[in-house]
Structure 1
Amino acid sequence: MTTRRDFLRNGSVALGGLAVAPSLLSATGAPLGGYPGLLSPAPLPPLSTDAPTRELMMEALDAAKRAGASWADVRISRNRNNSVQTRERQVTDVVDTDTMGCGVRVLVDGCWGFAATQELTKPGVGGAAQEAVAIAKANRVARDRRVELAPTPAHPNATWRSSYVTDPFTIAVEEKADLLLRANAAALTVANVRFVNSGLSFVKEERNYANTEGSVITQDYVRSWVTMSCTAVAPDRSGTAVRGPEVVQPAGRGWEYVLEADIVTNAKVWAAEAAEKLTAKAVEPGRYDLILHPSQLFLTIHESIGHSTELDRAMGYEANYAGTSFISPPDKVLGSLRLGPSMMNVVGNRSEVGALATIGYDDDGVQPEDFHIVKDGVFVDYQTTREQAPWLRAWYEKNGKPVRSHGCAYAQSWADVSFQRMPNVSLQPGDKDLGWDDLIAATDKGIAMIGRASYSIDQQRYNAQFGAQLCYEIRKGKIVGQVKDAAYQMRTPDFWNTLDMLGGKKSYMHGGTFNDGKGQPGQANAVSHGCPPARFRNANIINTGRAV
């Protein structure tokens, strides 16, 4: 259990009054032979909501009810971030942040109110609850519709832990830096590679939640990310080429995931790919069949399908910042908008093991469900929260489905109000168990792309342009070499309707974004997109290096 004294000893913020926090969750063990960071961790301790934290959450809920709230929830959490950044032979940055507090959200007369505090005492959380109620009452003047929450079962004494084995926050900074510097050194042995940047980033959230419907939930969430950028310089200094920095996809896993990436060995591969790009010819613009690797395709899914099917965007509530969506209004597009061929199935979920948005219970206290966003090529559902699900009541009742949230509520910390955020949005594999090489072999004239790079997309998620870290020309079923300056242009529904080949289960993998922004004030979440490689017919390939 983490007490205030423990937190102040180990953390970086000070709290007033006698305080408690979620249990500190750690993994310890003795080093195995070989790399010293490879631990044989003791089993992680069982999760439970400790009594002092439960007592504080009940106090906040009771205070909210006494002040006039018809419904309330409370989150007490500890949020930790760690990153180590290096360049060539030096450590350039080490960051550790650690924050803990309580956020209270209430409904009064169909209006939201929210307040947060770092004062983890009964008077502190009670005061935050009273402030949230006062804010909700003040918001009544601006109410456009009365908030109605879709029903959800209560989850008393529920727990969940993400799929990590070794807590990265138990690994010394020196070990993290040593791993990165050894990878940098390996990359620098490749001819013409002159610059290398690498980094490790980790997030740990110890989350406690309760609401006035009887849910009491404790969760332990960890995510990790490895980055490396290798820059090659031509011998005559006439040009440069870069591979990275997104060479390893982020994941909802721990230190073991970093070690599995074997970045010391793979650094030479990534560096060699950068060096090879120095001699790549410029792509000839035109129409090609386009094959996208999951490490690139996930971003296209994220930007064109993930964001466009957020219900708040479709309803105009994010127009001032994040934008709107071409997939609107709901009553005109649900069940009728064809986004792709019948082989295209896109599922929203928070259940895929190791994916970034995977969680046991969302920040509405909902146990998320898997749901089709696109089924047999047709758009059939949006991402929703408890507040949003009733907006689609007519559609759900028409199809014999319950009016329930898909579990897409999220707040980045105890100090932020929760709202609709993207779950894992994944393109399902095809019926035939094809792989990357099979798609290449089936293509006569094409471009194959690996890794995310620069892109742009309009605020409705309709017109876009995407590049890649590595682009290869395909002739008669074979890769004949790298090309540079290649990007593809697309209109979302037109592009997805050219999908004609999908990899199978053997080639399915996750890509992801560690920080995805939305909202005002801005918040960041993390989300993965599973997909196989895919081929798109007759894509418009442009040369981004040509002068106009």
Structure 2
Amino acid sequence: MKRRKFVQLSGMGAGAAMLVPSMMMGSSITADALLMPGMDILTKRKLADVALNTARSLGSTYADARIGRYLNQYVFTREDKVQNVVNTESFGIGIRVIANGTWGFASTNSVTEDGIMKATQQAVAIAKANSKIQKDPVQLAPVESHGEVSWKTPIKKDFKSVPVSEKVDLLLSANAAAMENGANFVNSALFMVNEQKYFASTEGSYIDQDIHRIWPTFGVTAIDRGAGKFKSRQAMSAPMGMGYEYMDGLESEKLEGPSGLRLYRNSYDIVEDATLAAKQAKEMLTAKSVQPGKYDLVLEPNHLGLTIHESVGHPLELDRVLGYEANYAGTSFATLDKWKSGDFKYGSDIVNLVADKTQKHSLGAVGYDDEGVKTKKWDLVRNGVLTNYQAIRDQVHMIDQKESHGCCYAQSWNDVQFQRMPNVSLEAGKEKYSINDMIKNVEKGIYIAGRGSYSIDQQRYNFQFGGTVFYEIKNGEIVGMLDDVAYQSNTQEFWNSCTKICDENDYRMFGSFFDGKGQPSQVSAVSHGSSTSRFDGVNVINTGRSV
């Protein structure tokens, strides 16, 4: 990765700078070429059948083929300049087989009958070679044969049809608004993805899907040169499974937060957010440093989503629970004995955490996963008790279940699919209850919005989280901005300290384009929804003080 590219990508979100190259796979093309139609569906079926029939003829008991066309467009700006516009296309096929009870996988960008036959032969050869050391044969949970079906993200405006100049103008307008309101530096970016995926299997499914995602983001920095200090504020946007309508307000919903903070749902005003971000970055320069101690925390969804991701999403991936996967995020404290007990208190009685691959506008929303399983919603934690994990077809028998949860995914045709985190969300409170209601009932607390730095141990148990902006709450009122705030807890203690959750009118989603897992590593996109929630007696530290 060239230094210039690294600088362009830095500041675009936690971990994104190192993982973005994985998303930029493929050949560079023009913006106009993004609009060119891909391979027609009849040709896809014919070529997929070449893979399936070849696999059967070579002794495979199961095979699936994924023909994928992956289109990406990224726009990067800084202050009054365009830094880069990236358009890429990747096209190929991945073939997965079971032969002699063992998985084999191969892929090729030669999407022809001859190229597919050779790749299938390679996949079967790999499976048979690996079977010599396989102790237990693969056990696949049964799946419905769907025949020929299709699914598409319900978008209103395809990003590919929007001129690049319009996107550039929007980002530069946001930059200008930030500079006019006190920012010294600002960068902004738009990430837009279209996955065109065709899945076929020997079990009779032929599934065509068209998936869209978008993420606008920025970072502003204000400097106090006299004091030698600087503060930054990142965007309050959330990546979404939507079209470009997310940027132009076709589904505009703006919620008013404490201290004039704008909270966005299903639409995003990047100019408005950049304006406020500059003002808040300046305010941070003189904000009071927090006094360490126990506080009641009021956490808004854009912040709480990251805590859900790290302390619920990752530790309830079954492969981590079993110790089969430890890359990036470690294993898990939520071991099978806790689940089997039937009474392990993951959280307080009001905590209900669900996995949902069907959630509208979420990053993980698809009709079918990359094993051809129809997606669904299921409980992970109900009334505070651990009830289930995330598992796919060759895993569910390990927890005595008969049906895949439908959360298998590969980042491209060139990668083998495996268990990935679905959307994991905290259900909203049942009674009418707003952010202002919550703040009125807090005597000593801190309101935290947006994501910040964090750390969590390899069992996903002990952790520390920061945020973007912090406001002190005294006797039911916001009294001013705080600085140097981070909270420490462990997963079980934290979720058991949850005492109140706002209702569905406050429900919003946080998301990540770049959730890393596996070796070789892959990234996936996932959302986490919640309403603003209260956690009592949480330990807060001052990150600005030397030890």
| TM-score when normalising by structure 2 | 0.89
One-letter amino acid of the structure 1 residue matched with residue 115 of structure 2: G
Alignment-mate amino acid for residue 315 of structure 1: L
The equivalences for 1:115-514 within 5 A come to 115-191=106-182, 193-234=183-224, 236-244=226-234, 246-260=235-249, 261-330=268-337, 333=340, 335-393=342-400, 396=401, 403-514=402-513
The match for 2:27 is 12
Q: Distance in 2 between matches of 1:201 and 1:320?
A: 26
How far did residue 163 of structure 1 move? 2.3
Partner of 2:8: none
State whether residues 175 and 274 of structure 2, in contact with CA within 8 Å, keep that contact through their aligned partners in structure 1.
yes
**What do residues 249-288 of structure 1 show as CA deviations (whole Å, max 9, x unaligned)?**
0000111112231212332112111111111010000001
TM-fit CA distance, 1:334: 5.6
Higher deviation after alignment, 316-325 or 403-412 = 316-325
Q: String of CA shifts for 1:145-199, please: whole Å, max 9, x gaps.
A: 32111111111111000122111122222221111011101111113x2111111
Change (3 A) 1:71 1:505: same
Name the aligned partner's letter for residue 228 of structure 1.
F
**Structure 2 residues not aligned, in runs of 5+:** 1-25, 250-267
In structure 2, what is the equivalent of residue 105 of structure 1? 96
State the SS of the aligned residue for 1:178. Answer: helix
Distance in 2 between residues matched to 1:182 and 1:72, nearest whole Å: 50
For the residues of structure 2 that align with 1:313 and 1:79, how far apart are their CA atoms?
28
Question: Which piece of structure 1 moves more, 77-86 or 322-331?
Answer: 322-331
Q: Whole-Å Cα distance in 1 between the matches of residues 382 and 507 of structure 2?
A: 18
Q: After superposition, what is the alpha-carbon deviation per residue over 1:38-65, rounded to whole angstroms, capped at 9, x for unaligned?
A: xxxxxxx9x9961111100011100111
Contact preservation (8 Å) 2:352, 2:427? yes
- One-letter code of the match for 1:165? K
Q: CA deviation at 1:320?
A: 4.9
* Contact 1:224/1:258 (<8 A) preserved: no
Q: Distance in 2 between matches of 1:319 and 1:174?
A: 43
Name the SS of the counterpart of 1:453 in structure 2: coil
Shift of 1:528: 0.3
Question: What CA distance in whole angstroms lies between the structure 2 residues aligned with 1:455 and 1:13?
Answer: 35
Question: 1 CA distance for matches of 2:481 and 2:284?
Answer: 6
Which amino acid letter does the alignment assign opposite residue 288 of structure 1? Answer: Y
1:386–1:258 Cα change, 3 Å: same
Cα separation, 2, equivalents of 1:58 and 1:334: 46
* Distance apart, 1:238 and its partner CA: 2.6
| Paired residues for 1:77-88 under 5 Å | 77-88=68-79
Q: Single out whichever of 234-243 and 383-392 deviates more from structure 2.
A: 234-243
Deviations 1:321-380 (A, max 9, x none): 531100013575462211111111011011110000010000110001210000110000
Indicate the SS of the match to 1:468: coil
Alpha-carbon distance in 2 for matches of 1:161, 1:104: 23
**Contact kept in structure 2, 1:412 and 1:525, CA below 8 Å:** yes
Asked whether the 8 Å contact 1:326–1:461 carries over to 2, the reply is yes
Aligned 1:529-544 pairs, distance under 5 A? 529-544=528-543
Change (3 A) 1:202 1:144: farther
Counterpart code for 1:539? V
TM-score, with structure 1 as normaliser = 0.89
User: Is the deviation greater in 475-484 or in 319-328?
Assistant: 319-328
Counterpart of 2:120 in structure 1: which amino acid? Answer: A
Question: CA separation in 2, counterparts of 1:163 and 1:494?
Answer: 39
In structure 2, what is the Cα distance between the partners aligned to 1:54 and 1:507? 44
Structure 1 window deviating more from structure 2 (431-440 vs 329-338): it is 329-338
Deviation at 1:239, TM superposition (A): 1.1
8 Å Cα contact 1:226-1:250 kept in structure 2: yes
Please give the alpha-carbon distance, in whole angstroms, between the structure 2 residues aligned to 1:365 and 1:283: 51
RMSD in angstroms over aligned alpha carbons? 1.8
Structure 2: distance between partners of 1:329 and 1:372: 16
Read off the aligned partner of 1:12 and give its amino acid letter: S
CA spacing shift, 1:13–1:139, aligned 2, 3 Å: farther
Q: Residue 94 of structure 1: CA displacement? A: 1.8
TM-fit CA distance, 1:392: 1.1
Residue 525 of structure 2 corresponds to residue 526 of structure 1 = yes
CA–CA distance in structure 2, aligned partners of residues 127 and 361 of structure 1: 27
Native 8 Å contact 2:327 2:518 kept in 1 = no
User: Relative to structure 2, which stretch is displaced further, 333-342 or 406-415?
Assistant: 333-342
Distance in 1 (alpha carbons) for counterparts of 2:438 and 2:69: 46
Q: Which runs of 5+ in 1 are unaligned?
A: 1-10, 15-23, 28-44, 397-402
In 2, are the aligned partners of 1:327 and 1:333 still within 8 Å (CA)?
A: no
1:306/1:425 contact within 8 Å kept = yes
1:53-82 Cα distance to aligned partner (Å, 9 max, x none): 110001110011111110000000101111
Matches of 2:500 and 2:301, distance apart in 1: 13
Is the 1:12–1:98 contact (alpha carbons within 8 Å) kept by the matching residues of 2?
Answer: yes
- Structure 2 SS opposite 1:422: coil
Q: Where does structure 1 differ by over 3 angstroms across 4 or more consecutive aligned residues?
A: 11-14, 24-27, 330-334
Shift of 1:436: 1.6
- Secondary structure of the structure 1 residue equivalent to 2:450: strand
Give the equivalent residue in structure 1 for 2:257. Answer: none
Identity %: 46
Q: Verify: 1:52 aligned to 2:43, yes or no.
A: yes
Q: Distance in 2 between matches of 1:381 and 1:462?
A: 18
Provide the C-alpha distance between the structure 2 equivalents of 1:392 and 1:108, rounded to a whole number of angstroms.
24
What CA distance in whole angstroms lies between the structure 1 residues aligned with 2:232 and 2:488?
22
Q: 2:258 aligns to what?
A: none
Q: How many residues align?
A: 501
Q: Deviations over 1:386-436 (max 9, x none)?
A: 11111111xx4xxxxxx1011010000100000000000010011112122
Question: AA paired with 1:121?
Answer: T
Deviation at 1:13, TM superposition (A): 7.3
Aligned to 1:8: none
**Contact 2:28/2:86 (8 A) holds in 1:** no
